[in-house]
Amino acid sequence: MKWTRGYESGNVEDRRGSSVRRGGMIGLGGLLLLLLLSWATGTDFLSLLGPSLSSPSVSVDSGGPVASTPEEDALKQFVSFVLDDAQDTWRRQLGPEDRNAKLVLFRDAIDSACGFAQSATGPFYCPADEKVYIDLSFYDELKQRFGASGDFAQAYVLAHEIGHHVQKVIGVESQVRQLQQSRPDAANQLSVRMELQADCFAGVWGHDSAQRDLLERGDVEEGLNAAAAIGDDRIQRMGGGRVQPESFTHGSSAQREQWFRRGLDQGSVDACDTFGRRGESDR
């Protein structure tokens, strides 16, 4: 992927020099169980403890200067470029309705407006503060554990989280949360639809990038491979368990690849209606 080396974004908050510790409001065994569930499903179960439990027991040390390697510095520049480029795309798509999300870089653990999270949770978007959170070490995990290498694979992950911000801006996120509360039996299905739409939105940015000649040979394949690599069915198999479609929260590998490709091919919000008949047809 073509990008600007040395790029710095005003939308990035670098908290890698901070440390976050959580007190003993939950036993170690319970914490490990929640972390495993978070990793397996992509859902931040730690945040379900709620503010009444998490807030009093979280301590934050702002720390000193950020210790970084040349590799991390380059990766920070890369995600900064992708962040702003993706949001420029959505500004052109949505017009005045759009507003920027922030990207928070952290190490090991973070206390967000959506609750306490650790690196094992993976990258996530918090609608409460409209920020994307990522530990840059996740990209090593993406390559080594999931076999998804390449800079466009890394860009896809961030573009997916920005897709969740787009859902917040256009009102999809609040509508889905209300439906999940009124129909708890359909909560997982609705979560899958929302995640697949974020995949499609990532593809919309990819389409726009291709139109501007930012993509290089092999980039599309890298992105599609990354989408397939983190499907619920593949993660469940990697965990040694059987595939349980009823427990999916993000969609199967085939679904994630399909919707990312749809955004790449068509490049429009209208192509990403995962909640309508088109979305139902891929089950």
Among positive and negative, which fits the CA dihedral 64, 66, 68, 70? negative
Task: For 230, list phi and psi in degrees, rounded to 5.
Answer: -110, 30
Range 160-182 average pLDDT: 96
The number of folded domains in the chain is 1
Task: Evaluate whether residue 1 is within a structural domain.
Answer: no
H helical segments located in 70-186: 70-94, 138-144, 151-170, 172-182
pLDDT digits (tens, 9 = 90+) for 56-105: 455 555 556 788 899 999 999 999 999 999 999 999 999 888 899 999 99
Place of tokens 């690599």: 229
Task: Evaluate whether residue 52 is within a structural domain.
Answer: yes
Q: What is the span of the domain harbouring residue 269?
A: 12-280
Task: Evaluate whether residue 249 is within a structural domain.
Answer: yes
User: What is the reported pLDDT for 49?
Assistant: 54
User: What is the reported pLDDT for 96?
Assistant: 83
Q: How far apart are CA 215 and CA 223, in angstroms?
A: 11
- Closest Cα to residue 200, out of 234, 163, 174, 233? 163
Residue 142: pLDDT over 90: yes
Which of 143-147, 197-201, 235-239, 274-278 has the weakest average pLDDT? 274-278
Task: Evaluate whether residue 234 is within a structural domain.
Answer: yes
Q: Check: CB of residue 41 under 8 Å from CB of residue 247.
A: yes
Residue 55: pLDDT over 50: no
Residue 207: count of CB within 10 angstroms of its CB:
19
Structure-model confidence comparison of residues 28 and 19, the more confident one: 19
Q: How far apart are CA 93 and CA 268, in angstroms?
A: 8
Q: How far apart are CA 271 and CA 201, in angstroms?
A: 9
Residue 240: pLDDT over 60: yes
Q: How far is CA 61 from CA 58, 111, 136, in A?
A: 10, 11, 20
Q: How far is CA 101 from CA 111, 127, 210, 267, in A?
A: 17, 10, 23, 21
Place of tokens 């139109």: 211
